Amino acid sequence: MKIIYEDEHILVIDKPAGIPVLPDGWEQDAPYLVKMLEEDYGKLWVVHRLDKGTSGVMIFARGAESHRALNTQFENHEAQKTYHAIMEGNPKWEEKVTKFPLRANVGKKHRTAVDDKNGKPAETHFRVIKRYQEMTLVEAKPMTGRTHQIRVHAYALGHPLLGDVLYSAQETWIITRPALHAQSLSLIHPITNERMKFTAPHPADFENALKVQG
């Protein structure tokens, strides 16, 4: 696992896809990210999460003071998160601001759903980076932090993420997970107050998916 940055207050990693951040409710004995990291770095505080199938930049606090400061930034939407995603098809727009309200844990599959009446406010900014024959690489910036937000907003726009079978994408051999990567994270260091930006390159499976139609 690649460590992007570390000091005595924070740990920033490039999370591989396929590993849950915390214990899975169905597989309590399966390996999870926090346990793996704490074996080498001691106690860590979770500030935000990435889905099991999502790769990319993730930050942990290494103390209670850092945890409080980082939590405040995330709660106030001051931490700037940028994702890269591969959508099925070709959207007609170049940029799109999506504000479908979302409700989590719907049905037996615990999906997140658009719910205009009971959903919580959610906002995602999409921008096309590159178009391919049957898919599109986009930048996605979530302004809120709802469960599966980018995935559901992409689905609601009619272009689910490649490989995201939970949200109606077709099964494909090109990639075996939702094509979503946390490309960068910009925030204020919880102790030094320095503005910092961390980035992670596309992992091999994500890059290979692009090359199939490149």
Q: What is the CATH number of the domain that holds 72?
A: 3.30.2350.10
The dihedral sign for the CA sequence 86, 91, 93, 96 = negative
Rounded CA-CA distance 123/145 in Å is: 9
Residue 213 has pLDDT above 80, yes or no: no
- Is a pLDDT exceeding 90 seen at residue 29? no
Residue 119 is predicted with a pLDDT of: 94
Classify residue 206 as exposed, middle or buried by CB count within 10 Å of its CB (0-12, 13-18, 19+): buried
User: 182 with 55: CB under 8 angstroms?
Assistant: yes
What pLDDT is stored for residue 26 in this prediction? 59
Percent of the chain whose pLDDT exceeds 90: 83
Give pTM, 2 decimals: 0.93
Domain extent, residue 202, equals: 2-213
Whether residue 188 contacts residue 158, with contact meaning beta carbons closer than 8 Å, is answered with no
Domain total in the chain: 1
**Active site includes 51?**
yes
pLDDT in tens, 126-182: 999 999 999 999 999 999 999 999 999 999 999 999 999 999 878 888 999 999 999
CA 3 vs CA 19, 26, 59, 105, 125: distances in Å:
16, 28, 10, 32, 28
Least confident of 57-66, 109-118, 154-163: 109-118
Which residues, in sequence order, are bridge partners of residue 114? 102
Residue 67's pLDDT is what?
A: 97
Average pLDDT over residues 2-30: 87
Catalytic residue among 14, 40, 51, 115: 51
